Structure 1
Amino acid sequence: MAFEANVKPYHLPKDAVWLVTGCSSGIGASLAHHIATQHPTNRIVATARNEASLSGIPDTPNVLKVALDVTSIPSIDAALSATLSHFGRLDVLVNNAGYTLVGDTEAAGDSEARALMDTYFWGMVDLSKRAIRIMREENSSGGGGQQGGVILNVSSMGGYFGFPACSFYHASKFAMEGWTESVAKELPAEWNVHLCCIEPGGIKTNYASSSMKMMEKRHPAYSDPGFPTNAVISAMRDPASRESWAEPEAVAKAMWEVVGRGERIPVRVPLGRDAWGMVMEDVERTRGELEGLRVLSESVV
């Protein structure tokens, strides 16, 4: 039995209301700035754990700055309530908040691993479930807009394949992508609600610096500098390795295009030459492995 996500085109209202998480820096800050300056008829709710960190985003009548901790249900409800009170509806939710946890999986503590999943996965789930109801029931009733909307979940090319040293980061992104695809196929097309995973490659953000959190402990069995985890950490810490990464402003512009171009919203959108190339390489590699297993696989009847 095959199911499809919504294949109908989405038409972004000229006065669309966006809520973006994680706007203190990086992709979130760039997207908030892009909307505020390049699409000023759109409205935006820019959020971060600390509202003071949003000072770099323009102050205009169409920008609302709100403190939001995506791991807190009361904080989520308060931010959504502020959005509806101020703008009346919610057309686009961008789940972007997060950070990187790096180290030896075997040494990871339960609390730090679960905290990452709470931010990337459960925070996204709790916001998205509430947004779907708003988009279905409130946008066209009291909000003066059209029924429906778009949920952009900022994943990564690391939501398609995994690297050493980042197992819980990848697990959170794989979970995000599986949840997104399932829910995208679950919603009736007439609701006009679309879900999409944005899969950037390397971006010149704080991903490999202040947003990179080392696990509390390292495991002595993995101390060899040549082991995969240490090689990845060294590469992430080397500024030269990030020179070819894309600018966050370019990612922000592309994200707006995904929503604003008036076409179907795909379930997955790789952004960046590295993301496109490495995802396609992984597709071909997986295809080859599957062809090699075809006889064995089809023997199970």
Structure 2
Amino acid sequence: MAAAPVGFQLPEGAVWFITGCSTGIGRALVQHIASKTSDRVVATARNPQALSYVDDNDRVLKVALDVKSKTSIDAAVTQALQKFGRIDVVVNNAGYNVLGDTEAISDEAARAVVDTDFWGMVDVTRRVLPVLRETNAENGGKQGGLVMNVSSMGGFVGYPGNAFYHSAKFAMEGFTESVAKEMPPDWNIHFSIIEPGGVETNFATTSIQIPDRHPAYESNPHSATTFMLGLMHNPEILKNFARVEDVAAAMYGIASRGGKIPLRVPLGPDAWSAIQADVEQLRVDIEAIKDLSMSVGSKEQLELLKALDAKSKK
């Protein structure tokens, strides 16, 4: 049996399959690949006309894709394989937010954001895993690939007014961590969760739905959601957001640097600091209840968990 690959090596002329490329991070990543590398890219959007910023050529394929439709996903992946024969890096970037008082957000709006941000990512990932494992290895090609799931610092830290967005992103992170541990090392399939902080895109203006406020929260001077909505429109806050081009370059750097792919990648001082603070607070909180926690169950359970964790890291 061949030795398991060590880390991930981006193949020469790698093929990238990116969702949500009409604006923001997806658009910047397509532009980075098309203009600054020799890699190939499948740029997708619900409306392909939104991809007019990049030219169709031998290295660029523009494809219609609605991540909420398995039929659309299958068609997009099929077109990518017909054009390039393989897919090396999958970037699940499509998503949006619905921001407001949890009680005021309709069931339809709540389910729609989770369907796009979480289930869209799930369905794309499940469709491409056989491609990475099997199709890429055909005709002397290299087995494996990289799945980059674009979460947010909001996939690790929760803020008021974003309950369903956080639900989708927390679910994305749990799904990614679990599936990454399912991959046998010899398949050479890697996963990375990208956790940007604030980014200079139109996400805050066109990719966020804000329903009418719930009167009980809107009238309360201590409403944290009211404060959050104010931040969204504060020009001083927006001035400190990261350049979207820098986020795209960092994502490309993760894939191309060689070696071990980090499972979680906070991008930006705000993301790194917020996640670090949350980790430290969690450490304090669980230490405070250690005696109570350890009084339940048995040492045998702990040993079994350690063994399972060690097995998943091989």
Q: 1:51 aligns with which of 48, 51, 65?
A: 48
Task: Name the residue aligned to 2:6.
Answer: 8
- Looking at structure 2, the residues matched to 8 and 180 of structure 1 have their Cα atoms a distance apart, in angstroms, of 20
Amino acid in structure 1 at the alignment position of 2:35: T
CA 1:237–1:7: 2 relative to 1, 3 Å: farther
Q: Which residue in 2 is equivalent to 1:139?
A: 136
Deviation at 1:13, TM superposition (A): 0.4
Check if 1:281 corresponds to 2:277: yes
Matched, 1:60 2:57: yes
TM-score, length of structure 1 as denominator length:
0.95
RMSD: 1.3
Structure 1 CA distance, aligned partners of 2:6 and 2:292?
39
- Give the whole-Å Cα distance in 2 for the aligned partners of 1:7 and 1:90: 18
Instruction: Give me the whole-angstrom Cα distance separating, in 1, the residues matched to 2:145 and 2:281.
Output: 35
Correspondences of 1:11-50 after superposition (within 5 Å): 11-39=9-37, 41-50=38-47
Does residue 86 (structure 1) correspond to residue 87 (structure 2)? The answer is: no
User: In the alignment, does 2:252 pair up with 1:259?
Assistant: no
Instruction: Tell me the amino acid that sits aligned with residue 97 of structure 1.
Output: A
In structure 2, how many angstroms separate the alpha carbons of the residues matched to 1:8 and 1:296? 41
What secondary structure is seen at the aligned counterpart in 2 of 1:139?
helix
TM-score by length of 2: 0.91
Q: What is the distance in 2 between the residues matched to 1:262 and 1:168?
A: 35
Partner of 1:239: 235
| In structure 2, distance between residues paired with 1:240 and 1:68 | 36
Detail structure 1 runs of 4+ shifted over 3 Å in the superposition.
Answer: none
Deviation string, structure 1 residues 114-135 (Cα, Å, up to 9, x no partner): 1101101111010001111101
Q: Does 1:269 align with 2:269?
A: no
Structural mapping, 1:109-148, within 5 Å: 109-142=106-139, 145-148=141-144
1:221 matched to 2:216: yes
1:12-39 CA-partner distances (Å, limit 9, x unpaired): 0011100101111110000000001111
User: 1:294 Cα deviation (Å)?
Assistant: 1.1
SS in 2 for 1:82: helix
Question: Which whole-Å CA distance do the structure 1 matches of 2:217 and 2:263 have between them?
Answer: 37
Aligned to 1:158: 154
Q: Which amino acid aligns with 2:169?
A: K
* Counterpart amino acid of residue 157 in structure 2: F
Aligned residues of 1:136 and 1:191 also touching (Cα < 8 A):
yes
The answer to whether the Cα contact below 8 Å between 1:29 and 1:57 also exists between their aligned partners in 2 is no
Number of residue-to-residue matches in the alignment: 293
- Give the distance between the partners of 1:291 and 1:104, measured in 2 at CA: 32
Please tell me whether the aligned partners of residues 36 and 58 of structure 1 are also in contact (alpha carbons under 8 angstroms): no
How many Å separate the matches in 2 of 1:262 and 1:118? 33
Give the C-alpha shift of residue 227 in structure 1. Answer: 0.8
- Alpha-carbon shift at residue 7 of structure 1 (Å): 8.8
How much identity, in percent, do the aligned residues show?
52
Answer with 1 or 2: which has the greater Rg.
2
SS in 2 for 1:246: coil
Structure 2 counterpart of 1:74: 71
CA contact (8 A) 1:30 1:249 kept: yes
Q: Give, in whole Å, the separation in 2 of the partners of 1:206 and 1:164.
A: 21
C-alpha offsets along residues 59-114 of structure 1, whole Å, 9 cap, x if unaligned?
43200001110001111011000000000011010000111110111122111111
Q: Which runs of 5+ in 1 are unaligned?
A: 1-5
Residues in 2 aligned to 1:93 and 1:151: alpha-carbon distance in whole angstroms: 5
Amino acid at match of 2:99: V
Q: 2:197 aligns with which of 194, 201, 225?
A: 201
Distance in 2, matches of 1:191 and 1:125, equals: 19
Conserved 8 A contact 1:7-1:264? no
Match among 91, 96, 110 for residue 93 of structure 2: 96
2:207 is the alignment partner of 1:211: yes
Report the alpha carbon displacement of residue 293 of structure 1 after superposing the two structures with TM.
1.0
Q: What corresponds to 1:3 in structure 2?
A: none
1:231-289 per-position Cα deviation (integer Å, ceiling 9, x unaligned): 00111122221110101100000001111101111111111111111111111111111
Could you tell me which runs of 5 or more consecutive residues in structure 2 were left unpaired when the two chains were aligned: 298-314
The answer on whether the counterparts of 1:36 and 1:42 sit within 8 Å (CA) in structure 2 is yes
Deviation at 1:226, TM superposition (A): 3.8
